Structure 1
Amino acid sequence: MSSLTKSTAKSQAVLNPRTTKYEFMGPIGALLVTVGVPFVTYALYFTCNERVGACPPSFEYIYDTFFASVTSQEFWRSLFDLEAFYMYLGWYAFCVVAWAILPGDWVQGTELRNGKRQSYKINAFSTMLLALGLTAGYIYRFGCQSFTFLYERWIGFVTAALCMSIAQAALCYGFSFRGEKLLALGGNTGNPVYDFYIGRELNPAIFGLDLKSFNELRPGMILWLLIDISMACEQATRLGGRITDSMALVVLFHGFYIADSLYNEPGLFTMMDIVTDGFGFMLSVGDLLWVPFVYSLQARYLVFRPKDLGMAASAAIFLVNALGWYIFRESNNEKNDFRNGKNPKNLKFMETKRGTKLLTSGWWGVSRHPNYMGDLLMGLAWSLPTGFDTPVTYFYIMYFAVLLAHRGMRDDEACEKKYGDDWNRYKKLVKWRIIPFIY
């Protein structure tokens, strides 16, 4: 081995140290989640649809149907729909082409360990507007019934999104061994099961297209809104051209949340997913499968269980969502302003030995993760329009509470390593993790 090769190998080892600590209970936990996420996505459909009647059906029905299905070749063939597969590939290609041709500013992300910065093109919001414009024109030309195919071919689209998730995670894992790549500090264990799940390469990109940020906001998030619109079209087709106030609220809440996220795209580049996590199956399946097909559960449920809430109930639910959004957006604005050297509200902060500052007033004085509190309130408002006939439509808020609690613990661990004793001092000033006086 030449001296140059030895020097390169040594510098790579310093830049990409071996990961020695597991999350998600290690390889076994990673394997369980890798299998469990697709399983739950399919299960939420097969245990909550108009064909089975109840939502969920009885345990005896689930038990009998499950074993009859998994032993049937016809069932496995029914999961794949070639037409839906091609349509999904077309949708993904549309998002890539829109990213490439629509105008947008290029911004620099945070500085990486190698001293470089990742470049990101900002045009997710305009991609959504283009998609919505084309969808509106299509529905206007051919009628609501023409845009119900997402409801009718649901399982085919789920399988297509799963295939895309697996393919991207596998390719990124394989290519992470080629060349001098910057690896995620948490995804370089040497265990293929764990590293495939958690993500080995930090910022995989193809011709300037950063896969991680692209998948985070475009194919899955915008498809989530299109699915909601398809569910509303299906309900309108069944109800003679009208939709219920409950469906209108769900589509409005989801649409506003998605539009707000895409409009504030630059705020994404300071989040843990982008800054520290690698791109593996965890993010690919979360962005492409879980977000559009699980988060739209309430809209799909209201197709076959339509509900008219009335003005009073609708107004109350609207206020819950508005409060959640206000907390979420204001807290994120405070954080982003402060990180960019601005402090328009003259918020209090504490100095750390690292020379950085931690906010201790405003929303960030209420809890260590006030944006999560806003997220949870919005999630509750998204489920309330479905009523209280089934707990299944509240799956999102239950899952999200667990996810955010886990993410908060990951943040605390990372900050404790980063700030040391200063973090313990900070926790005495800001006692609550997410919800004051509760958690």
Structure 2
Amino acid sequence: MSASALNPRTTTYEFLGPPGAFLISLGVPICTYALYFGCSEQTGGCPPPLAVSRISAALSDPAWWKGLWDTQAALMYLAWYTFCVVAWAILPGDHVQGTTLRTGVKKTYKINAFSTFLLALGLTVGTITRYGPQSFTFLYEKFVGFITASLIMSIVQAVACYASSFRPGALLALGGNSGNPIYDFYIGRELNPFSFGAFDLKTFNELRPGLILWFLTDISMVCEQATRRGGFSQVTDSLWLVLFFQGLYVSDALYNEPGIFTQMDITTDGFGFMLSVGDLCWLPFVYCLQARYLVFTPIELGVVPSALIVLCNFAGYYIFRTANGEKNDFRNGKNPKNLEFFTTESGSKLLTSGWWGLSRHPNYFGDLLMALAWSLPTGYTTPITYFYITYFTVLLIHRQRRDDEMCEKKYGKDWKKYQKLVPYRIIPYVY
């Protein structure tokens, strides 16, 4: 197959094309910093007193810009990323195959993300046990420095991947070969850049450095509050709930690592700045917002509110896990629940009963319920701590629309028939 046939030119844009890609590439780092400075005890609250003159003075002060850099934090972050790579290499793990590529081959991946998580967690708990909670507060204390370090890593990887994608024989993403450098840099030009044997940079970043660091950052928040309040017994129930909920989510994702190989990020999207900054910077340092807020705004919920929030989270988790279980079983040729399905003219089969008969993306519905449960422990005094569920709702609706567009191109008129059988997109009987 010729290079032009294997890597056809991208003729349609997402995210409003190059202007949108440019604005998002600037907006994501700015928003990450803004969420810190806009919800921080260092700046005076969540949000701090708004004064345009204060913002203008800060941005025009070279000392403020220098304060975004922390050499210690940068070295720590580099050590953390190195630890993840070494753990991938030396820890045992199964080898599984991904989906068939356009070249007709299947990539083989080594999976040991959960083992890496357990090792990191064991070292963290051992450190805290031996030296006390104050020994693990550095992620809270050097938060801005870690944001900067992860952002630099994101940019370096995105630039390297974009440059590498021009080598002969590179398999490009169907959506990332537009010829516009701004758009292709953002969306990801090569499907699997820096892929050597069982190592693949895209899948490695998807689950390891950022996802595990998110939970370790939550632990650092608990340690910071414990240090301030006189021990772990004095940590508020709200912060324990956030740690538990997000820890469960991270553990589930890492334990079910093979499930990512059928996701759009892996099968369709290239690896560019969109995924690098999302995996390495946005995920660990934005998703911990609720835990970080509760450090300096301790909230005691009580038994009944806590129980209701737990119920919300586990309802979401049950839907998320059982829906994904139905999908993964069906894709692997199993149907233990005897679920009904619709067969397209191409021979593909689409579930039309169980959770997948209630909506086309029931796992997203579970995700949204969990996101709500993570925000509820922060109370109702500020809307900023509800940023995650607001952003996540927009993200999942956009992802659902992308998926629907792809399925309509793939299945044609059969997709219209399927939409009549399963009319709801995410939330049954609502949307």
TM-score, normalisation: structure 2: 0.98
Is it true that 1:51 corresponds to 2:51 in the alignment? no
Distance apart, 1:436 and its partner CA:
1.7
Is it true that 1:147 corresponds to 2:136 in the alignment? yes
Q: Using the alignment, how far apart are the partners of 2:87 and 2:345 within structure 1? A: 45
Is it true that 1:259 corresponds to 2:248 in the alignment? no
Distance apart, 1:284 and its partner CA:
0.4
One of 82, 85, 88 as aligned partner of 2:71: 82
Q: Using the alignment, how far apart are the partners of 1:400 and 1:427 within structure 2? A: 24
Instruction: Spell out, residue by residue over 1:314-366, the C-alpha distance to the aligned partner (whole angstroms, 9 max, x if none).
Output: 11100100000000011111111111111000000011001111100000001
Equivalent AA in structure 2 for residue 183 of structure 1: L
Secondary structure at the aligned position of 1:279 is classed as: coil
Distance apart, 1:69 and its partner CA:
1.7
Is it true that 1:422 corresponds to 2:411 in the alignment? no
Is it true that 1:216 corresponds to 2:216 in the alignment? no
Equivalent AA in structure 2 for residue 262 of structure 1: L
Distance apart, 1:302 and its partner CA:
0.3
Q: Using the alignment, how far apart are the partners of 1:169 and 1:438 within structure 2? A: 39
Equivalent AA in structure 1 for residue 102 of structure 2: R
Distance apart, 1:54 and its partner CA:
3.1
For 1:6, the equivalent position in structure 2 comes to none
For 1:35, the equivalent position in structure 2 comes to 26
Distance apart, 1:274 and its partner CA:
0.3
Is it true that 1:356 corresponds to 2:356 in the alignment? no
For 1:240, the equivalent position in structure 2 comes to 230
One of 276, 287, 291 as aligned partner of 1:284: 276
For 1:93, the equivalent position in structure 2 comes to 82
Q: Using the alignment, how far apart are the partners of 2:13 and 2:217 within structure 1? A: 36
Instruction: Spell out, residue by residue over 1:291-312, the C-alpha distance to the aligned partner (whole angstroms, 9 max, x if none).
Output: 1000000000000000111111
Instruction: Spell out, residue by residue over 1:223-282, the C-alpha distance to the aligned partner (whole angstroms, 9 max, x if none).
Output: 000000000000001111021100000000000000000000000000000000000000
Distance apart, 1:179 and its partner CA:
2.2
Is it true that 1:303 corresponds to 2:292 in the alignment? no
Q: Using the alignment, how far apart are the partners of 2:49 and 2:73 within structure 1? A: 30
Instruction: Spell out, residue by residue over 1:370-420, the C-alpha distance to the aligned partner (whole angstroms, 9 max, x if none).
Output: 000000000000000000010000000000000000000000000000000
Is it true that 1:370 corresponds to 2:362 in the alignment? yes
Secondary structure at the aligned position of 1:320 is classed as: helix
Identity of aligned residues (%): 68
Distance apart, 1:53 and its partner CA:
2.7
One of 103, 107, 111 as aligned partner of 1:118: 107
- Contiguous gaps of at least 5 residues in structure 2: none
Q: Using the alignment, how far apart are the partners of 1:144 and 1:72 within structure 2? A: 35
Equivalent AA in structure 1 for residue 217 of structure 2: I
Equivalent AA in structure 2 for residue 137 of structure 1: G
Q: Using the alignment, how far apart are the partners of 2:98 and 2:380 within structure 1? A: 43
Secondary structure at the aligned position of 1:110 is classed as: strand
Secondary structure at the aligned position of 1:20 is classed as: coil
Q: Using the alignment, how far apart are the partners of 1:328 and 1:337 within structure 2? A: 14
Q: Using the alignment, how far apart are the partners of 1:356 and 1:341 within structure 2? A: 12
Distance apart, 1:138 and its partner CA:
0.7
Equivalent AA in structure 2 for residue 312 of structure 1: V
Is it true that 1:326 corresponds to 2:318 in the alignment? yes
Structure 1 outlier segments of 4+, above 6 Å: none
Distance apart, 1:117 and its partner CA:
1.0
Q: Using the alignment, how far apart are the partners of 2:322 and 2:351 within structure 1? A: 14
Number of equivalenced pairs: 428
Equivalent AA in structure 1 for residue 176 of structure 2: G
Q: Using the alignment, how far apart are the partners of 2:45 and 2:169 within structure 1? A: 54
Is it true that 1:341 corresponds to 2:333 in the alignment? yes
Equivalent AA in structure 2 for residue 358 of structure 1: L
Structure 1 range deviating more: 65-74 or 155-164:
65-74
Instruction: Spell out, residue by residue over 1:125-156, the C-alpha distance to the aligned partner (whole angstroms, 9 max, x if none).
Output: 00000000000111111110110000000000
Equivalent AA in structure 1 for residue 40 of structure 2: N
Distance apart, 1:437 and its partner CA:
2.3
Q: Using the alignment, how far apart are the partners of 1:117 and 1:68 within structure 2? A: 55
One of 101, 124, 136 as aligned partner of 1:135: 124
Q: Over the residues paired in the alignment, what is the CA RMSD in angstroms? A: 0.8
One of 137, 162, 166 as aligned partner of 2:155: 166
Q: Using the alignment, how far apart are the partners of 1:104 and 1:253 within structure 2? A: 26
Secondary structure at the aligned position of 1:401 is classed as: helix
